[in-house]
Chain A
Amino acid sequence: MIRTVLSRVLQKLLLVPIVALASYYLMAVLPVPSDEDSKRQLPAELAASYRKDLGLGEPLGFLRPWTKLFRGERLGTTAQGVTGEEMLQKLSGSVAVGVMGLVLALVWALLLALLRAGGRRPPGLLGDLLPAIAFGTPAFIPALLLAPSVVETGHLLPELSAAFVVSLWPGVLLGTLLTDTLRQEVAKDYVRTAMSKGLSREAAVRRHVLPNLWPALLDSLPPLATALLGGSFAAERVFGLPYFGQLYVSAVLQKQLAVVVVATTVFAALLVAVSVAVEAVRLVVDPRARDRREAA
């Protein structure tokens, strides 16, 4: 079992170096002029920062941004670059907002699933409208509607609002997926058995069905984290949160290539961490997973 688990974890961890290399080479392929004639293509400071940070043309050049980071040096230009410390600080903020968003998304998802699966009548067109509204709303619109009330109020309100706004879309998405799973579970024999033994429908759902939703929930956590991350860029900008999403956007706009490479890899690492954590939790929570391992 340990070996299977380890191999799955290692497979997931592979993502990080893949992304690191891919993003590095994508940036390196951009022609960074090194000859005199094209000196005016880029501001001198920016060109110098590319040469220093990206190690272009060197065999192990892709390691350069990481060694610089590890030594505590700054990546990018003096005015717009970042150090590893700053990145970590901003990352912790983003992660905190992300966790709040994750919890909220799970809450919306469960509520939506219970509401929709609980009702006897199929919802019809109206039931399609709610997901359409959620999917068709770019994150910055609800953020803008909410922002004037919470920006600059402190007390973690901007962060909570950002988490709320970012969790809507993934929560609804997850809710629609869970609805199907919930409906399938409710239709199964053991529920009918439980009800025929005198349990009310609600109690049956609560005691027998919900615990069986765990695998579906866990399966959906990594894509959920991805969706939360995607929405966080716009939310952080609108709510004025100085965290990792903002750092990434300004690095792209200011053409700080090394920062873009490192930040992209950090995102990938975050998502891998979520994935690995989900595997660990699944082992604990889902007896079928454990059995599957042992059988394999």
Chain B
Amino acid sequence: MSPRRLAWTGLLLLAALGLGSFALGVLWPTVPARYCPLGHDVLRPDRTVCELSFGGLWVSLGIGLLAGALSTALGLVLATLARLLGGFVERWILRFADAFFSLPDVLILMVLQFAGQTLGDLRPELKLSPVPLMIASLGLVGWAGPTRMLRNRLATLEEQEFVLAARALGGTRAHLFRAHLWPGLKAYVLALFLSRLPAAILAESTVSFFGIARMEPMSLGRYLGTSYSAILYEGGARVVLPAWGLLILIVLGASLAARGVEGASSPGR
């Protein structure tokens, strides 16, 4: 499949899931409540599995996208800064990114969630409600990878001949970036952003599993993380497997889109 088609397949899948979930979760909530073939949830017998898992998908997707955007934006800013200032600053930014990158997502997320919640308890004026806190934590967890990769990409692009030519012709840094570097970077940024999405949702799910995250409204990640125990009992598979399947679909969509976008944009094609 050509990269373009891959990208479009992935993006369409994500859009379909997200919009469908929003429609059934927010606009027409009685539909999944009444017509769910999977029956009612075990921990919350008044709500159906469809309502909780599919209806919560857009929350997870939204959080994942916003968190991914935050990390990628942070990464872009830091990478550009690193290349602009160069030398000492660049080395230290990279070292810091490496340091951060080498720690597991879940660990940092647990610490950030814990810190955020404790701060909110003890100083209510600084309290963040669960969704912004989760987005901020996930965003802060994921900036290191994009920073490194964008910085390397920028370095590669800068060595291209047309950039050297532009510089020789007296182009300012701003012009260089806007006219020559950014076009080559755009698609890569998009690919990175899309690849952060599955990691964010998985991390959210794992943190809910430990009971550290408090998410209202119900998100897919939290649903999976709190109702996992049903899988041990009879009839529990119908509760857990659909949520799991939806998560896999999101990951599939995101990775297809990311690969497609990157494939369509890599220099030399």
Contacts and interface: CB of A to CB of B under 8 A. Distances in A.
Given A128-B255, A135-B255, A144-B229, 8 more contacts: A136-B252, A140-B225, A230-B107, A237-B209, A249-B110, A252-B114, A267-B104, A268-B99
A148 interface: yes
B255 A132 contact: yes
Interface of B: 1, 95-96, 98-99, 101-107, 110-111, 114-115, 118-119, 121-123, 198, 202, 205-206, 209-212, 224-225, 228-229, 231-232, 240, 244, 247-252, 255-256, 259
Contacts of B247: 136-138
A125 B255 CA distance: 11
A15 B244 contact: no
A15 B102 contact: yes
Interface string A148-176: 10000000000000000000000000000
Contacts of A267: 103-104, 107
A15 B110 CA distance: 19
A136 to B, nearest CB: 4
6 contacts: A14-B95, A15-B98, A128-B259, A135-B198, A233-B106, A253-B210
B211 to A, nearest CB: 7
B250 A136 contact: yes
A43 interface: no
A229 B168 CA distance: 48
Q: Is the interface of A mostly helix, strand, loop or mixed?
A: helix
Contact count band on A: 35 or more
Contacts of B99: 14-15, 18-19, 268
A201 B249 CA distance: 36
Q: Is the interface of B mostly helix, strand, loop or mixed?
A: helix
A264 interface: yes
Contacts of B98: 15
Given A136-B202, A136-B247, A233-B206, A30 B115 contact: yes
> Which among A15, A222, A253 has the highest number of chain B CB atoms within 10 Å?
A15
Nearest to B205: A138
A226 B255 contact: no
A26 B115 contact: yes
A204 interface: no
A271 interface: yes
Contacts of A29: 115
A128 B102 contact: no
Contacts of B118: 30, 255
B103 A132 contact: no
A230 B119 contact: no
Contacts of A31: 119, 122-123
Interface string A19-60: 100010011011101000010010000000000000000000
A128 B251 CA distance: 10
Contacts of B115: 26-27, 29-30
Given A129-B252, A144-B228, A227-B104, A233 B210 contact: yes
A222 B96 contact: no
Given A138-B206, A145-B231, A252-B110, A226 B104 contact: yes
A69 interface: no
B102 A275 contact: yes
A63 to B, nearest CB: 20
Contacts of A139: 206
B232 A230 contact: no
A41 B24 CA distance: 42
Contacts of A135: 198, 202, 251, 255
A23 B107 CA distance: 11
Nearest to A30: B118
Contact of A133 (B104, B111, B225, B248): B248
A156 B261 CA distance: 45
Nearest to A169: B202
A151 to B, nearest CB: 11
Nearest to B231: A144
Given A249-B110, A264-B111, A18 B255 contact: no
A54 B70 CA distance: 32
A124 interface: yes
Nearest to A260: B111
Interface string A227-238: 101100110010
Interface in A241-271: 248-249, 252-253, 255, 260, 264, 267-268, 271
A41 B119 CA distance: 12
B96 A138 contact: no
A271 B102 CA distance: 7
B224 A138 contact: yes
